[in-house]
Amino acid sequence: MTSPASKPLAFALALVAAVLGSVGPAAAEPTARRVAVVLVEFDDSALTDVPGLKRKARDLIFDAPGSAARYYAAQSHGQRTMTLAGGEVHGPVTLDGAATCDTKAMVAKAESVLADVPHDDLAVVFPNAKADCGWGGLGEMPGKRTWFPAEHLNQAAVLHEFGHNLGFNHQVRDICESGTVTGCRKDGHSGRTPMGGGGAEVGLSAPELVSMKWLAAGRRVAPRATTSVRLVALHAPESAGGTRAVDVPLGGDRLVVEYRAPGGVDRSVPRGVNVYRVPGGKYQAAHLIDGGSEKSVPVGRTLVAADISVTVLAADATSAEVRIAVGPDLPATTAKPSSPPASATTTAPPSSSTTSATSSSATTSDDPLADDIVVGAPVPAAASVQTADEEWFGYAVIGGALIVVLFGVLLVRAQRDR
């Protein structure tokens, strides 16, 4: 039973709890997507082994252990689900005329058999032998439609194209001047996510998880002063706890640091500390900064970015210790700018001004990066760690709450003295 004298203090403490609970970004909203899958043929080009293709598409998108549905459900901690609209793969339906890469015509034909099938998203599978589309997969970014040439339908391509639907861009690698984040140029892909050529046996990167609000605020830190941080492997089980990412402002950009180690969804990820530059706060378009050791920053190496530096102090099978230095605590940089090694000469695919296409090849292949991106609606703003203004507002609110607590304590004492 609460005494009358303790009511002001209880009220103050409740107010503090409410205020503190309101600080920070909101959690992701659950989304349930009904995905219709339709096989589309052409007058001069038919699909082979339709029953087998239907089973394959269903497995890759919904049923297999590594399916897109299971992958994104796991990455989102159950916040995003995908189910097969109508309970079956539909078609094939025949598009009049010769084989073509006209994606709008494919969509129109596919939709013609879905009038009575409620659905949110659409995946089209078609024969590419005569259409000869110059990509191994296609996805709206962001959006609700994907296209897959039947000859190149595989797990990596499915994860990649549905990633585009979520708003993820191709994740590129930046080669910069030695030990710094200056003089950078795009050079290949990150290899740390299905969106960066990592295939189907890697999880999403920390910036991608942040963009979808799938990395809890409590798993990220934003140091305002020099400190050391123990990073638990990004995709370690939730029961392992710990900090999974550092996320700090870098001018108008952000700098995100993660530790990855083989295990769980990260079956084939290289072990190491990865540093990303997030241009303009667009987490879904982050660039991996090449650290010099299989693209990661090796133990003992420092990477300097403006008034912030990241030094990898130690790493083991489950975690890494990194030192984040700010302002006057930055280490002296003596390394001279160096050119990238001769082996690192892969040129990043060019972008098209009309479709933001990033086709890595003029011909189709099983490489999930040999695709195009169809620009959909504007990508929504990413969930981010609080900006400086938001942080100061939070501190002001907390300070006010503490004053209320102090007032409550003084009021309790005054009542006791009567």
pLDDT number for residue 383: 41
Domain stops at, among 285, 316, 347: 347
Task: Evaluate whether 189 touches 196 at the Cβ level (below 8 Å).
Answer: yes
Q: For the chain, what is the HEC assignment?
A: CCCHHHHHHHHHHHHHHHHHHHCCCCCCCCEEEEEEEEEEEECCECCCCHHHHHHHHHHHHHHCCCCHHHHHHHHCCCCEEEEEHHHCCEEEEEECCCCCCCHHHHHHHHHCCCCCCCCCEEEEEECCCCCCCCCCCEEEECCCEEEEEHHHCCHHHHHHHHHHHCCCCCCEEEECCCCECCCCEEEEECCCCHHHCCCCCCCCCHHHHHHCCCCCHHHEECCCCCEEEEEECCCCCHHHCCECEEEEEECCEEEEEEEECCECCECCCCCEEEEEEEHHHCHHHCEEECCCECCEECCCCEEEECCEEEEEEEECCCEEEEEEEEHHHCCCCCCCCCCCCCCCCCCCCCCCCCCCCCCCCCCCCCCCCCCEEEECCCCCCCCCCCCHHHHHHHHHHHHHHHHHHHHHHHHHHHHHHC
pLDDT number for residue 310: 96
Largest CA distance in the chain: 96
Distance CA 296, CA 273 (A): 5
Q: Any idea what the CATH number is for the domain that residue 71 is in?
A: 3.40.390.10
Establish if 373 belongs to a structural domain. no
Q: In terms of domains, do 326 and 241 share one?
A: yes
Domain stops at, among 322, 347, 372: 347
Instruction: Look at residues 163, 365, 401, 129 and name the one whose alpha carbon lies nearest to residue 284.
Output: 163
pLDDT by residue for the chain (418 residues), tens digit each? 434 444 444 444 343 333 323 223 456 678 999 999 999 999 999 999 999 999 999 999 999 999 999 999 999 999 999 999 999 999 999 999 999 999 999 999 999 999 999 999 999 999 999 999 999 999 999 999 999 999 999 999 999 999 999 999 999 999 988 888 888 899 999 999 999 999 999 999 999 999 999 998 789 999 999 999 999 999 999 999 999 999 999 999 999 999 999 999 999 999 999 999 999 999 999 999 998 878 999 999 999 998 899 999 999 999 999 999 998 777 765 433 333 333 333 333 333 322 333 333 333 444 545 566 665 544 333 443 433 333 444 444 455 556 655 666 566 566 666 5
Q: In terms of domains, do 256 and 303 share one?
A: yes
Q: In terms of domains, do 118 and 211 share one?
A: no
Q: In terms of domains, do 10 and 38 share one?
A: no
Domain tally for the chain? 3
Task: Evaluate whether 109 touches 93 at the Cβ level (below 8 Å).
Answer: yes
Q: In terms of domains, do 222 and 291 share one?
A: yes
Provide the phi-psi class of 241: left if phi over 0, else alpha when psi is between -120 and 50, else beta. left
Q: In terms of domains, do 73 and 186 share one?
A: no
pTM value is 0.78
Cβ atoms within 10 A of the Cβ of 197, count? Answer: 22
Establish if 119 belongs to a structural domain. yes
Q: In terms of domains, do 141 and 184 share one?
A: no
Cβ atoms within 10 A of the Cβ of 279, count? Answer: 13
Q: In terms of domains, do 246 and 281 share one?
A: yes
Q: In terms of domains, do 57 and 80 share one?
A: yes
Instruction: Look at residues 268, 246, 248, 244 and name the one whose alpha carbon lies nearest to residue 257.
Output: 246
Q: In terms of domains, do 192 and 264 share one?
A: yes
Cβ atoms within 10 A of the Cβ of 39, count? Answer: 23
Establish if 74 belongs to a structural domain. yes
Q: How many degrees, rounded to 5, is the angle at CA 184 between CA 253 and CA 300?
A: 85
pLDDT number for residue 100: 96
Establish if 214 belongs to a structural domain. yes
Q: In terms of domains, do 120 and 182 share one?
A: no
Establish if 376 belongs to a structural domain. no
Instruction: Return the C-alpha torsion angle 7, 8, 9, 13, nearest 10.
Output: 100
**Looking at this protein, which amino acid is placed at residue 396?**
A
Q: In terms of domains, do 176 and 148 share one?
A: no
Task: Evaluate whether 226 touches 324 at the Cβ level (below 8 Å).
Answer: yes
Establish if 205 belongs to a structural domain. yes
Q: Can you give the residue range of the structural domain that contains 49?
A: 31-165
pLDDT number for residue 235: 97
pLDDT number for residue 403: 64
Tokens describing residue 259 = 């530790």
Residue written as token pair 């879904």: 284
Establish if 377 belongs to a structural domain. no
Domain stops at, among 328, 347, 366: 347
Cβ atoms within 10 A of the Cβ of 386, count? Answer: 17
pLDDT number for residue 360: 33
Establish if 361 belongs to a structural domain. no
**Looking at this protein, which amino acid is placed at residue 164?**
H
pLDDT number for residue 2: 39
Distance CA 214, CA 222 (A): 17
